[in-house]
Chains A and B, each alone.
Chain A
Amino acid sequence: MGVSFAHFVIQTLNGIVSGMILALVASGLTLIFGIMDVVNFAHGEFLMLGAYVGVITLAATGSFWLALIAAAGVIAVFGALVYLTTLRPLLGRDPLTTILATFGISLVLQNYALWQFGPVARKIEEPFAGQFTLFYLDYPWYRLIIAGLAGAIIGALWLFLKFGTYGIWIRATTQDRVMAQAMGIPVPWVLTGVFAIGSAMAAASGVLFAPLVGVDHAMGVDWILRAFIVVVVGGMGNLGGSIAAAIFISLLDAYSSLWVSPSQSIIVSFVVLILTLLFRPTGLFAPTPK
């Protein structure tokens, strides 16, 4: 079974592209988990709703960039509201309660989307593709730009966490919530803010990826499964690890689909997940466990 060099290069690119999007989804998830130990099962639905906000804004304004910004903004506010009304009252309880709550929210949102927008997938394509018809001859260019944008958003998050005052507040709260309060950091606002940022990142990934897959009520389910694999393999709460794991898993997925059908290739991800849980439960890319 010979695999041509061109085929290999294309799959490498595909793996990196979906890896970057996956990294964007997973970094929101892992940021939220790291700071409040909440496993947000509704993260995929935030992605899906973000994509719908993108579809609507795009239809109204014709601007992909506006659609991206609107989706991130609307879903950030929505995420903050979900956090304040549903998760904040549950903080400090058994983690199972937040898992059940976010799972419930995800079901509600999925069915809401089905009821509101119907079962037919929508496409975000024309305006964005139109903007890039120059490169239309070379189809992968169009994907690479999306990967670059995802990378830029992750990079901006990293800079914000590393150097910004609010970034220091977030990291301090992640490391010791009680001491952060004693230092005058408004921890309740930090937690709400992080949930909003994580939700916005999910929404942005929804819009960025929508041109490749189409938008329907179930699009979040696919992503959330992969994002969870990535977050576990990368080490729960470890941002750098999640990004490395996202690229790693997506490349594995892409290469394995050279030999098996793409729908079977996700099995490889699960094998990696199971091996990680068995032999290195703190994550493949985690530094020495604390």
Chain B
Amino acid sequence: MEPLLAVEDIHSYYGKSHILHGISIEVGRGEVVGLLGRNGVGKSTTLKAIAGLVHPNAGRVLFDGQPTIGLPAHRVARLGVGYVPEDRRIFPLLTVTENLRTGLDRHGVSKAKKEELLDKVYQFFPVLAERRRQPGGTLSGGEQQMLAIARAMMLEPKIMLLDEPTEGLMPRMVSQISEIIDVLHRDHVAVLLVEQNVPLTLSACQRIYIIEKGVVRHHAPAAELRVGDPIIHQYLGV
């Protein structure tokens, strides 16, 4: 079966610096895949390229069999790509509900369906329901992370791109992130997770790619890797 997402040999430049040197990644339907690597090796750029926010200079990205490089980012999002950026990027002056509506108010979504989607995230994130009339900018870091994920879920995505969702969160919140990934997995939503937290990534993901200097150096089922593995140590220094 063809993968949901196929990234084929993409190259990307930021000004004169070569960020991605031919990254290739596949994510199957409903599969949870992790990208590990040190800071600045091109993990975030890879996610942005998939989301259509960065346009690679060479290579292909196929989503659901359709080439997406060159499509405007909003069209990519509507194909079913939910993007949760590293810095969350909540719309600070929109209320929690309005933040969710940015993804929810699409053509072809019935009113009943909208309410169902809203109810679902409010049940799953009761704290967002409590704060639904509050501007996004007034939420705590953890709450903003919940909102960023909930907001992307409004697109009914086939894949969620999560960029360092645990960064700067309290330990209790970190375990909630892994619960969320489990729930997405149970709902057959694929996840491409970029993380620095190796134990969480190994336990949440089925397959792992390790990236260094803009290329995939290693690729293995998560079950074959352990925290402290020489390979992990070599590429991540932990």
Contact = CB atoms under 8 A, between A and B. Distances in A.
B83 interface: yes
Contacts of A290: 92
Interface in A182-210: 182-188
Contacts of B98: 168, 171-172
B74 A185 contact: yes
A181 B78 CA distance: 10
Contact of B74 (A171, A175, A176, A187): A187
A181 B51 CA distance: 10
Contacts of B154: 183
Interface of chain A, helix or strand or loop or mixed? helix
Contacts of A165: 101, 105
Interface string B138-157: 00000000000001101100
A81 interface: no
A86 B195 CA distance: 43
A179 interface: yes
Interface in A249-274: none
B127 interface: no
B77 A183 contact: yes
B51 A182 contact: yes
Interface in A98-123: none
A180 interface: yes
Contacts of B155: 183-184
A181 B93 contact: no
30 contacts: A165-B101, A168-B98, A168-B102, A168-B105, A171-B94, A172-B91, A172-B99, A175-B91, A175-B93, A178-B53, A178-B89, A179-B89, A180-B74, A181-B52, A181-B72, A181-B74, A181-B77, A182-B53, A182-B74, A182-B85, A183-B77, A183-B102, A183-B151, A184-B74, A184-B77, A184-B103, A184-B106, A184-B155, A185-B102, A187-B74
Interface of B: 51-53, 72-74, 77-78, 83, 85, 89, 91-94, 98-99, 101-103, 105-106, 151-152, 154-155
Interface of A: 165, 168-169, 171-172, 175-176, 178-188, 290
